[in-house]
Amino acid sequence: MILWRHGKIFLDKDTKVSWRIGEVRKALNLTQQRFAENLKISQSHASALERNSRAVPDRAIKMICLTYGVSEKWLKAGKGDMFEKGRDFKLEEVMSNFQKLDELLQDYVLKQIRLALEYQEKAGGGRQG
């Protein structure tokens, strides 16, 4: 529930969790469909969780945290960082999707990565780290 008092918006606990679920999905650059597939739920269920039209059960919170490395403390209470440290989600997504490609497309992707690295080196934009 959203409350309006003294010119400020106040969200109840469930609304905040639902909002944070949407923030996780957006941070991972996932569609609701892909987000739901990875959690083994329907897209309409994922949508309902984000809209706060369905209570967010603890098992859904656990699945989101386990599947995406989200901090349970952040998801429930908004405290700390969104993601647990130590996982590289971009790399995991690349590896997962790369393995789904046939051999010809894998070779194409590797060639594109090599070309991108070459371009980056010539442009002087090596990765800082």
For residue 114, which amino acid is it? R
Quote the mean pLDDT of the chain.
Answer: 84
Share of the chain above pLDDT 70, in %: 83
Q: Which helix (H) or strand (E) holds 3?
A: strand 2-5
Report the predicted TM-score, pTM, of the whole model to 2 decimal places. 0.60
Cβ neighbours of residue 86 under 8 Å, at least 6 residues apart? none
pLDDT of 128: 52
pLDDT tens track for 42-90: 999 999 999 887 778 899 999 999 889 899 999 999 999 999 876 677 7
Specify whether the CB–CB gap between 50 and 22 falls below 8 A. yes
Helices (H), 10-83: 13-27, 32-39, 43-51, 58-68, 72-77
pLDDT of 9: 46
pLDDT of 98: 87
Q: Which tokens in the block code for residue 75?
A: 């998801």
What is the topology classification, in CATH, of domain 2-77? Answer: 434 Repressor (Amino-terminal Domain) (1.10.260)
Structural domain spans, the chain: 2-77, 89-123
Among the residue ranges 5-19, 52-66, 69-83, 99-113, the one predicted with the least confidence is 5-19
Spatial separation of the C-alpha atoms in residues 90 and 11, rounded to whole Å: 31
